[in-house]
Amino acid sequence: MEYFTLPKNESTPIFCFDHDLSKRGYSRAFYELEDILPEGALDYTLYPAYQKLKNNSRETFKSALGDSVIVAFSAIIHELFNNTHEHARTDEKGFNLYPNIRAVYLKFHKRRIDSHIGNYYNKQPGLLEYFDSAFHLNKQNEVYLLEISVLDSGPGLVKRYKKTSSLEGISIEEEVEIIKECLHKRNTSAVGADKEIKGLGLDRVLQTIDGKGFIRIKSGRVDVFRNMKRHRYKAHKTPSDIILYDWLENTPESFKMHPEATGTLISIIYPLDYRIHGK
């Protein structure tokens, strides 16, 4: 399950499988025995994964990934993966899901901006708008990006929230509103026995990528995104105030009902500042 010893590749997947109560399928990148690692530990356990990404030379790595960026990645990945640990190992009624999969997928992109716009994302208006904005480039006018995706085969955000095994009778608008509930600051990922709040849920992810990144969320029949360079983070009073765009319709006002998918996939684009170290 560990890919860190393999040759460099375009991407690095890190899998966790829930087979049974033995916890045999847990990755050492996220777990110590049965306990999920604290956020600070990911700075070290995931470092080999960043180094294994193809096109990520030692010079590139040192110039583009400063300590603050590694800390940001750890915050994003820990928050999202911790949510799978707490909410995706069981079904909507709280019964163990055997088997199920939870994973983190990392991919390093190094490409010219005009290539992104002209060849890769010319059919997706949301991404076109994202790439048609200011980035820090290297001498070859290339932008460095890290793609972070966290997925699970759990019940999905809406079924978990509604505690239902079916989306029948739930409108696409209601599904989107539930996604917004999950992004709202007051909806925390967990609360301890002493009532201590353990994390700020997906709201913290939005704060971490504010002004830089792009986020896409697929769960149930919803496929939405937010360009955090254009729509900056705000601490909204109500979830309904949160801006999300439909992936195909490219509008925050109407949403297309997509074919239902199991689980949740959250993908983030995070640009790397090549000039951090004077390049």
- DSSP symbols for 20-61: STT-TB--TTTEETTEEPPGGGHHHHSHHHHHTBTT--HHHH
The model's pTM is: 0.89
In the prediction, which pLDDT does 258 show?
93
In the prediction, which pLDDT does 3 show?
63
In the prediction, which pLDDT does 60 show?
62
State the DSSP code for 93: T
- Which residues are paired to 112 by β-bridges? 142
Q: Which of 31, 12, 46 is nearest to 82 (CA)?
A: 31
- Type of residue found at 91: D
Measure Cα distances from 33 to 13, 36, 66, 226, 253 in Å: 20, 8, 30, 36, 46
- Type of residue found at 244: L
List the structure tokens of 184: 């709202």
Query: In terms of residues, how long is the chain?
Result: 279
pLDDT tens, residue order, the chain (279 aa) = 566 777 777 788 999 998 877 778 899 999 998 899 999 999 999 988 888 876 665 566 556 666 788 899 999 999 999 999 999 999 999 999 988 999 999 998 888 888 877 776 777 889 989 988 888 887 888 888 899 999 999 999 999 999 999 999 999 999 999 999 998 876 544 444 433 333 346 899 999 999 999 999 999 999 999 999 999 998 888 999 999 999 999 999 999 999 999 999 999 999 987 654 444
In the prediction, which pLDDT does 198 show?
38
Domain boundaries, the chain: 11-277
Bond into 48 cis (ω within 30): no
Q: Which of 211, 231, 218, 221 is nearest to 259 (CA)?
A: 221
Q: What one-character-per-residue DSSP string does 131-147 give?
A: HSS-----TTSEEEEEE
